[in-house]
Every structure is written in C-alpha cells, then in structure tokens.
Homo-oligomer: A and B are copies of this chain.
Amino acid sequence: MTRFLERIRTQKPLIHNITNVVVTNFTANGLYAAGASPVMANAKEEVEEMASIANALVLNIGTLSSEQVESMIIAGKAANKAGIPVVLDPVGVGATSFRTESARTILEQVNVSAIRGNVGEIANLAGLSAQVRGVDSMGEFDMDELLSMAYKKIQVPLAVTGELDFITDGKEKAVISNGHPLLTKVTGAGCLLSSVVAAFLAVEKDVFHAVTGAVCYYGIAAEEAASKAKLPGDFQIELLNQLYAVSDDLIAEKSRSVLGKLGSDL
C-alpha cells in the first residue's frame, strides 16, 4: 500500500501554483481538501523565493501573459535547483501560437517532472496535431500510438486525461477508467487535477506511481461526488467534499487502473 493521501495529510506539502485566473480559488480549495497547502504567487520579484520554500510547483498556462511566462521560468529554475517536482498544465496549447510557443519555451528552460493535459493539448504540444486528428474518441489503439509518439518528442512523463486516463513515463503505461462525465461541466477540473498531481509528486519520488495514484484518487472522488450530486453546481462543491472525504482505503477498493508496458495492448 502506497498510502499517498496519508502522507499528504501528514506532511501538508506546500504547492506553489502559477496558474490561470479562472481556477485559482477552486484549485486552492481542492488542494486544501486533499490535505496539501496551496500558495499562489506570480510576481517575478517573489516566485524564486516562493518556489524555493515550496514542496512542488505547478505551471498552468490557462490565462498566460508574457510577464507570467517570465515568472514561470524563474520559478521553474528555482524549483529545479531546489530539487522539487514541477508539473506543467498546457491549457489550450494549439489554440493560439502564443500558448504553444510559451509551453515549448517552458519545456526548454525548465526540467518538468510531469505534464497533464487532454489529448488535443498533448498532441499539439508534441507537434502531432496533424497525425492525431480524430483521436478525440481516444480509442485504445490510437492512444497508445499517441502516447508513444508524444513521449518520444517531449521526453517527460505524461498524463493524458479524458473519458479514459492514460499515463506513461516512456516505459510503463497505466489506463485508468475512474472518473465521471460531470467533470467536463466544471471549469478547472483538469487544472485542479494537475495541482493534485503536484501534491502526490511532493510526497512520492516515483513519478509514474505518484501520477497514477493522483489520477485514480481524483477519478474516485468524482465518482463519489456524482453519486450524491447530479447537477453541475452541486457537483463542483461535492467534488471538494469528496477530495476531503476519500481515503487511501477507498482508493485501494475502488481504483480501476490497468498497468502494462507502453506499446502493449492492455
């Protein structure tokens, strides 16, 4: 038993988020619910110091500005120097060239521990958007190919989330079927997951298992929430409740992940 949540709730890792203005509140409340300590800081005058005292860093490009890119790179380098994990959420990569270029600049300048995005974002980040057109259905076979190709280009552990969630570190692969469609009706559901991934990485050095654990936990919390709340306003609040209520034991009981080698059929 890995008991990630117990570790998070005991260690209360400080998660430094440089994130978009839409999800700040929801992300902070979600991190508190999981047991972590959130902090948000964007100014280039302070991100180096803040990242240095944090236990993990999240870079989310959802409402990017050029000043924020600069801060992300300063914070990312400080995180690298301090040896803490860095999660990149490439929100909307491919929608504008500013986002695509900024995400690539961050990847060039910062050693990122893991990237979480939807299939379109990961494909765009890897420069594969032409090849993967139509992959939105996320058929198992295509996704394995996408994961392999994307990992080859990006060389960073990936979590591609959607109806099914796919995680790879270039060798191992996990396919997770926890989760619920109501997550697509709550803004920032993906962004919060990226910050939860950072909280797991803050307490576990094995990136593949930490990311897989975070994605299972989040999907199970969503399932629990959806069993109580059928409408999106209620679901958003109930998700916070369940991120707080779900335990390592419930994860052990309810997780539906299939593990294997990248390139193998699961």
Contacts and interface: CB of A to CB of B under 8 A. Distances in A.
Interface of A: 20-26, 28-29, 32-33, 38-43, 45-46, 49-50, 53, 62-66, 92, 95-99, 184-188, 231-234, 236-241, 244-245
Closest 10 A/B residue pairs (Cβ): A233-B240, A28-B187, A231-B241, A46-B96, A46-B98, A233-B237, A45-B98, A49-B96, A233-B241, A22-B24
Contacts of A96: 41, 45-46, 49-50
A40 B22 contact: yes
Contacts of A46: 64, 95-99
A239 to B, nearest CB: 7
A29 B239 CA distance: 14
A52 to B, nearest CB: 9
Given A29-B186, A43-B65, A231-B244, A95 B21 contact: no
Nearest to A99: B46
A63 B50 contact: no
Contact of A231 (B24, B187, B245): B245
Contacts of A62: 40
A29 B184 CA distance: 10
Contacts of A42: 63, 65
Given A25-B187, A29-B186, A65-B42, A50 B95 contact: yes
